[in-house]
Amino acid sequence: MKKDPLSVTLEVDSFDGKIHVEREPKASVTPMGQLAFFIQFLKTGHRFEPWVNDCPLTYKSPNAPQKVDVAYSG
């Protein structure tokens, strides 16, 4: 039996370790579907810290979260 090339499981490197991504042909497309690949891009390209530093978020409350905690809520 020939395996569909679109049903291959991909290994993606995230900040929490390796995850496996598999395409579900009958599932709806969502805006978050490519997020795992964007996270891998930020990690392997050493772009996460510059991305957070360039983020225009500013909080004034003394108990406000740090930008990195908002950008990475994983």
Band of pLDDT at residue 45, cut at 50, 70 and 90 = very high
**Of 40, 4, 46, 53, which is closest to residue 25 (Cα–Cα)?**
4
Tell me if the pTM is above 0.75.
no
What pLDDT shows up at residue 28?
85
The answer on pLDDT for 39 being more than 80 is yes
The answer on pLDDT for 4 being more than 70 is no
Average pLDDT over residues 26-52: 88
**Of 43, 51, 46, which is closest to residue 12 (Cα–Cα)?**
43
Band of pLDDT at residue 1, cut at 50, 70 and 90 = low
Cβ atoms 72, 47 nearer than 8 A: no
DSSP 4: P
